[in-house]
Every structure is written in C-alpha cells, then in structure tokens.
Amino acid sequence: MSIANSEGYSKLIRYKVHHFAFWVAYFIFWFFFYHNDQQKLSSAFVNAFVTISVHGIAVYFNMYFLFNRLFKQKMYLSYVVSVILTVMLTTLIWALALNSASIITNHYPLEIWEIEFFTAGFASITYTIGISMSLKMVKQWYERERISENLERINMETELKYLKTQINPHFLFNSLNSLYALTLSKSDKAPELVLKLSEILRYVLYEGSEKWVSLDKEISYLRSYLDLEKIRNGDRLNLDFEVVGNTAGKKIAPMLFLTFLENSFKHGINQKADGGFVKIKMEVDSEQLHFKIQNSKPEEKEQRLNGKSGGIGINNIKKRLALLYPDKHDLNISDVGGSYMVDLKLNLRET
C-alpha cells in the first residue's frame, strides 16, 4: 500500500465519509422505492428520510453497543437474541414513524399495520444490519492488513539497517588489518592502499546508507575494492573482473556483493603462497543481473562457503536478499573441484 493511499484512507475513516456515502446511497434507493404514481415527491422524500433514520438507529445500536458488549465478549446467543429484539422494536418504531409521516403529508397509501408490512420491515432492517456488519468486517480486515503491512515494512527496514551495521565494521576491520600489515613492512604501497580505502569508505558511509544505488556506482565500488586487493596481494593474485551488458539506468541494493568478494580472498588468495585466482563475471540484461564469482580453494580445507561459511557474512547476505528480493533472486554457493563458486541471479530495478 502506498503512503498516499494510506493517508487518503485515514482521512476517509477519520471524517466518517464512508458512513455519509452509504446513507446517501441508501436514501436514494428508498426515495425511488417510495416514489411512484400514487405518492408525491414530498411524501417519498419524507418516507425515505424516516426509513433511513430508523434503519440507522438499528445499525448503530448494533454496531457500537451490541457488537462491542456481546459479540466481542463471545456471548453469541445473547447477541443473536438482542439483534432480533432490536429489529422487532425498530420495525414497530418504523411503522409508527411512517404512520405519523403519512398524517403530516396527508397521504395514507402505506398499509403499515398489515402483517406483510411488518414481515417486510423486519427483513429490510435485518438486511440493512447485515450489510453494515459486512462492511464493518471488511473495514476491520483492511485495517488489520494495513497495520500488518506497516509493521512488516518497519521490521524489514529495522533488520536491513541492522544487517548493514554488521557489514561496515567487518569490512573496516579487514581493511585496517591489511593496512597494518603493509605499514609493518614499510611498504611503498601503503599510501595507495590508504587512498583506495578512503574511496571505499566514502561509498560505504554515504551510498551504503541508501536503500538503492545505481548499478554503475556499485560496480565502481567493486573495482576500488579489487584494486585494493591487488595492492595487498601483488603479483601472486590472478584477478579477472568482467562486466557484460548495459548497466545504465539500473538500481541495486548497495554492498550486495561485498561479502562474496571478501570470502573469495579470505578462503582463496590469502591462504595460498601463490597461484591463487578470483574470477568475477557480471552479466546484465534489461531485467536481470547474473553475478558469478569463482576463487581458488586453499590446499587445506578449513571451511566451506555453504556450511558455516563466511560466518555472519553469508547469513547476512542471505537475509538481505530475502528481504530486498523476495522470490526475485536465486543464490547458489558450491564447492566445485578445486574452487569455490557463487552464482547469484536477481531481478533489477529500473531508475
């Protein structure tokens, strides 16, 4: 439900516009019911007004008193008996009111003291109460759905914010460890690493707080991260990153691929003296993004990506995908031969 629709609905309920519209429509129905060749317009108008007034008494007495005091308290038999008595009493009031109206308008065509009139009156008031209660039930169901959707949206936004707060310190911790290692060795690469790290952190702090970012920005961020890893690992890293398709005008959740990149280096490159590789391919079409990342496997298996893999990181990304792309993504993480493979497909948003 959109915010505009929600606000419009709230105003409708607050000012009871739906009640007014119902009774206007009901008045028009009864006006044409009474208006015939034998009755003048004034008589039809008065009779219609009397009818909806009496019906209104029955409806609101049931809706705001009997329903709350008996039905909601699960006193169902008492409620049914009370409704029947209410209908009988209001039918009598209706007959008396129509009789008085006919005297005022000098018109006596309604045979209000006939059994047929009371039977029809009882049925019509019962029908009116039934219609009003049906509308009330629909309104309550709609309000429950609206509240449920709002709570679900709030819970989702809260969880997403929590998941993002897990990503930022985790990434920063790993990057600072790398910088620390380079400064210990007094490497000339340290200043360049600091520069790349500042670019990444700028993206994480500013773009990362958004719900959606452009795919081009996300790709630029990934390239900065890979440049940082090249600086750290030097020649022993065999890295390949390929983007296929038109990325312009597409949106994606920020930092969606960060965990996969971190794990590829953690479980592959960082644990091999040399010969490690990371291959990344991103294919983009008009509606879908297909992201694949494959990395070399260490000689000694310590963890699997699809087991307790990546710890918080993999669980984090699975939760984010479930929240942001429900039924619109497909994630497979596998251990294939001498490498780990992540295969992610998801539907893209247009700007």
Which of 159, 160, 250, 259 has the alpha carbon at shortest distance from 213? Answer: 250
What is the per-residue DSSP string for 48-72?
HHHHHHHHHHHHHHIIIIIIIIIIT
List the chain residues with pLDDT less than 70.
1-16, 36-39, 103-112, 151, 153-172, 174-175, 268-275, 298-312, 350-351
Domains and CATH numbers, the chain: 3-149 (no CATH), 187-350 (3.30.565.10)
Tokens of 306: 């699809």
Assign residue 74 a region (left: φ > 0; alpha: ψ between -120 and 50; beta: otherwise): left
User: Distance between CA 236 and CA 295 in Å, rounded?
Assistant: 13
User: Distance between CA 47 and CA 330 in Å, rounded?
Assistant: 65
Q: What confidence score (pLDDT) does residue 84 get?
A: 93
Start-to-end Cα distance in the chain: 20
Residues 278/238, Cβ–Cβ less than 8 Å: yes
Element containing residue 161 per DSSP (H, E): helix 115-184
* Predicted TM-score (pTM) of this structure: 0.54
Q: What confidence score (pLDDT) does residue 85 get?
A: 94
Q: What confidence score (pLDDT) does residue 305 get?
A: 43
Strands, E, within the chain: which ranges? 213-214, 237-244, 250-252, 276-284, 288-296, 329-336, 339-347, 349-350
Q: What confidence score (pLDDT) does residue 111 get?
A: 63
Tell the residue number behind the tokens 């169902």, with chain if given. Answer: 76
Q: What confidence score (pLDDT) does residue 104 get?
A: 63
Q: What confidence score (pLDDT) does residue 224 get?
A: 86
Which of 259, 264, 265 has the alpha carbon at shortest distance from 168? Answer: 259
Q: What confidence score (pLDDT) does residue 302 get?
A: 46
Strands, E, within 42-145: which ranges? none
Q: What confidence score (pLDDT) does residue 284 get?
A: 93
Distance of CA 161 to the CA centre of its chain: 16
Strands, E, within 128-234: which ranges? 213-214
